[in-house]
Amino acid sequence: MPRQNAAGLEHSINIPDKGGRTPLSWAAEKGSLTTVKLLLDCAGVDKDKKDNGGRTALSWAVQNELKRSGTRNPRQENVRIVEFLIETEGIDNNSEDKNGRTPFSWATTNADFSIVDYLVSSGHVAIDRPDINGRTPLSWSAECKRFDVVECLLSSKDVNANSKDSSQKTPLSWATCEGNQRVMSIIIEKDTDTLYTMVSERPEQPEQVKLLLDAGYDACQPDPRGRTPLHFAVSAENIESAKLLISHGPGSINRKDDAGRTPLSLAVTKSPVLAKMLVEKGAETDDIQPSAWFHGDKDSMDSIICVSKQGATQRLQYMTRDNFMEELAKPLPSDHPRMRLFTLQNSKIPDDGAEFLIQFLNAVETRWTRLLRRAEKHIRERIRLDKEAPSLKHYQQSNKTTPSEDFINELQSDVSNLYQLRDIMEDHVNKARRFVEEYCFPYNEGKGKQLAWDTIAQLELRVNTRINRFEQILRDTLQFEFTRVSMAEARRSTALATSMRRLTWMTFIFLPVMLASSLFGMNVDVLKDNPDWRWFIPIAGMTITLTICGWLVFEYIPV
């Protein structure tokens, strides 16, 4: 370019067009390195001037290689332009446009890989800065199916493969589309969140989930709390996503999280459809409480849950009582395999008779426990152990010394009832042991025998221990009552003896006096005063003295 023209450029070098773009901006995108250098050498040039969209010359330079025009600069020329602009002072290498996108963000979508590689290795640009929508360069390159760029970015420890934008989408979410399996597969190696988010979305996106799983995403991968994607899909009631997860990762169907919850334990609280699907796919029902099956269907609280198993096939049916009775009444064909129907309230299907016996014994123990709790409550109410016991002073009152005969009889009746319970328990244990002997060896090859014996022994021990404790309480209460009765009778005897002693002393005093009075009464002559009444006093005193001496002789001298 002639020097005189270059001098004239100094006056119009920063004049923008209608789009706000300057000559430097256009030269960086479509020109050559020589033109860019010439413009930057002009005095007063605004090296970082933004156009109407907020983009600078560097932002346009990274798109040089992929412009739509027929004439293109050699690839090396494009890299030189970008290198020159990056190393020029006064240019913000991370300048953001009105959408928050930096030159590097644009490079990851449009630029030749050599430019991206240079920018990453230079260390002069932020390679993981999000725009105003939260999208990072990795997110843009993943959407544009740029495998080489994605691979380059993931090799840097500064890039977060799990970053989410404002719509909660990760780079892998943007990469999930047809024909982008290579990009998906490489991000999957670093991603730890996308599948959990995707299977939790409502409405569900089974097509997207399938693309991820087909690309190699681990359907059984747990999160930091031990939850698999299937846990999330069940919690969100996404049935189709759950089916895909089970088909690609059947190992997750019985996986427990850190709280001990399986997908089935979540499903029974959410959806009967999900619970039925999981059971039919092989979910273990052992840990599900019988009452929990109805939580997900509040309209079926009176229904019956039927869990069945034939070989390796499991089924779950929600039935009304009428339907259940109809099923029982249906005749089976002659060639139908043998069917065993158990009505125990247990979610685990027994594999054989020994296991069924163990379940039955557990059910029996549950009923025994309920019975013994009622018995304990009855005993406590009877003897008022949960209240303050009466003190002895309470019974020392004259009107409180006689105990209730009915109360003692009731306690004795309770003791008799406990003996009957012990006899019933012994009968249960004997019959259970007889069943083990008659079944395990002939029909079950001895399998489960020891476990059945142990279960029977534990049942007997726990029940008898509680019965023994109740008997001891009743015995102690009866002993207390007998002691109280004895004390009351002793107090009554003491009071009677005291009264008799008082009466005896009164007799000792008054009988001699009455004797003396009688003697004088028979011989007295009132008119002549003969004998003199004064003789009465010594005669009465002598009689009393003789009486006391006689009592002392008989009291202290053995006869």
The token duo for 207 is: 């097509």
Residue 506 binned pLDDT confidence (cut-offs 50, 70, 90): low
88: left (phi over 0), alpha (psi -120 to 50) or beta: beta
Where do we find the tokens 């003295």? 545
DSSP state, residue 459: H
DSSP state, residue 64: G
Residue 252 binned pLDDT confidence (cut-offs 50, 70, 90): very high
Q: Are 249 and 376 found together in one domain?
A: no
CA gap 425, 448 in Å, rounded = 22
Q: Are 358 and 296 found together in one domain?
A: no
Stronger pLDDT, 138 or 202, i.e. the higher one: 138
Question: Among 45-54, 282-291, 519-528, where is mean pLDDT lowest?
Answer: 519-528
Find the CATH number of the domain harbouring 48.
1.25.40.20
Last residue of a domain, one of 349, 383, 417: 349
Residue 29 binned pLDDT confidence (cut-offs 50, 70, 90): confident
Q: Are 107 and 216 found together in one domain?
A: no
The yes-or-no verdict on residue 554 having pLDDT over 70 is no
Q: What angle do CA 269, 272, 276 make, to 5 degrees?
A: 120
Domain assignment present for 531: no
Domain assignment present for 504: no
First to last CA, the chain: 163
The yes-or-no verdict on residue 387 having pLDDT over 50 is no
Where do we find the tokens 């330079």? 61
Angle between helices 33-41 and 75-87 (to 10 degrees): 20
Question: Among 115-129, 307-321, 506-520, 543-557, where is mean pLDDT lowest?
Answer: 506-520
Last residue of a domain, one of 491, 516, 546: 491
DSSP state, residue 490: H
Residue 382: predicted pLDDT: 75
Residue 171: predicted pLDDT: 96
Half-sphere exposure of 503 (CA within 13 A, CB side): 6
Residue 134: predicted pLDDT: 96
Task: Output the pTM of the full model.
Answer: 0.66
Q: How many domains does the chain have?
A: 3
On the 0-12 / 13-18 / 19+ scale of CB atoms within 10 A, 231 is buried
pLDDT above 90 as % of the chain: 37
The amino acid occupying position 284 is E
Q: Are 204 and 344 found together in one domain?
A: yes
DSSP state, residue 384: T
Domain assignment present for 558: no
Residue 340: predicted pLDDT: 57
Last residue of a domain, one of 463, 491, 519: 491
Domain assignment present for 41: yes
The token duo for 191 is: 């991603």
Angle between helices 206-214 and 181-188 (to 10 degrees): 80
Mean pLDDT of 185-213: 93
Domain assignment present for 556: no
Nearest to 229 by CA among 270, 268, 257, 189: 257
CA gap 419, 421 in Å, rounded = 5
CA 388 from centre of chain: 39
pLDDT above 70 as % of the chain: 77
Residue 139 neighbours by CB distance under 10 Å: 28
Q: Are 345 and 414 found together in one domain?
A: no
CA gap 403, 409 in Å, rounded = 11
The yes-or-no verdict on residue 533 having pLDDT over 70 is no
Q: Specify whether the CB–CB gap between 179 and 147 falls below 8 A.
A: no
Mean pLDDT of 330-339: 59
The reply to whether omega before 403 is within 30° of 0 (cis) is no
User: Average per-residue pLDDT in the chain?
Assistant: 81
Alpha helix stretches (DSSP H) within 51-205: 57-61, 75-87, 103-110, 113-122, 137-143, 147-154, 171-175, 181-188, 194-200
CA gap 242, 232 in Å, rounded = 9
Alpha helix stretches (DSSP H) within 31-70: 33-41, 57-61
Residue 351 binned pLDDT confidence (cut-offs 50, 70, 90): confident
What confidence tens digit (pLDDT) does each residue in 82-129 have?
999 999 888 999 999 999 999 999 999 988 899 999 999 999 999 999
Angle between helices 23-30 and 33-41 (to 10 degrees): 160
Residue 5: predicted pLDDT: 52
Radius of gyration of the CA atoms of the chain, in A: 52
Enclosing H/E stretch for 314: strand 313-319
Q: Which residues pair with 310 in a beta bridge?
A: 313
Q: What angle do CA 130, 135, 140 make, to 5 degrees?
A: 115
Domain assignment present for 163: no
Question: Among 61-65, 356-360, 370-374, where is mean pLDDT lowest?
Answer: 61-65
Q: Are 315 and 345 found together in one domain?
A: yes
The amino acid occupying position 431 is K
Q: Are 311 and 357 found together in one domain?
A: no
Q: Are 345 and 372 found together in one domain?
A: no
Question: Among 22-26, 33-37, 61-65, where is mean pLDDT lowest?
Answer: 61-65
Question: Among 35-44, 67-76, 407-416, 424-433, where is mean pLDDT lowest?
Answer: 67-76
What confidence tens digit (pLDDT) does each residue in 144-178 have?
999 999 999 999 999 999 999 999 999 999 999 98
Domain assignment present for 535: no
Dihedral sign, Cα of residue 15, residue 20, residue 26, residue 27: positive
Q: Are 324 and 362 found together in one domain?
A: no
The token duo for 311 is: 């070989």
The yes-or-no verdict on residue 548 having pLDDT over 70 is yes
Residue 279 neighbours by CB distance under 10 Å: 24
What confidence tens digit (pLDDT) does each residue in 223-240 have?
999 999 999 999 999 999
Q: Are 119 and 198 found together in one domain?
A: no
Q: Specify whether the CB–CB gap between 176 and 135 falls below 8 A.
A: no
Nearest to 545 by CA among 506, 500, 504, 513: 513
Residue 470: predicted pLDDT: 87
Q: Which domain holds residue 56?
A: 1-126
Domain assignment present for 244: yes
Stronger pLDDT, 430 or 482, i.e. the higher one: 430
Q: Are 364 and 473 found together in one domain?
A: yes
Nearest to 304 by CA among 296, 315, 288, 316: 316
The token duo for 83 is: 């290198």
Q: Are 345 and 375 found together in one domain?
A: no
Residue 70: predicted pLDDT: 45
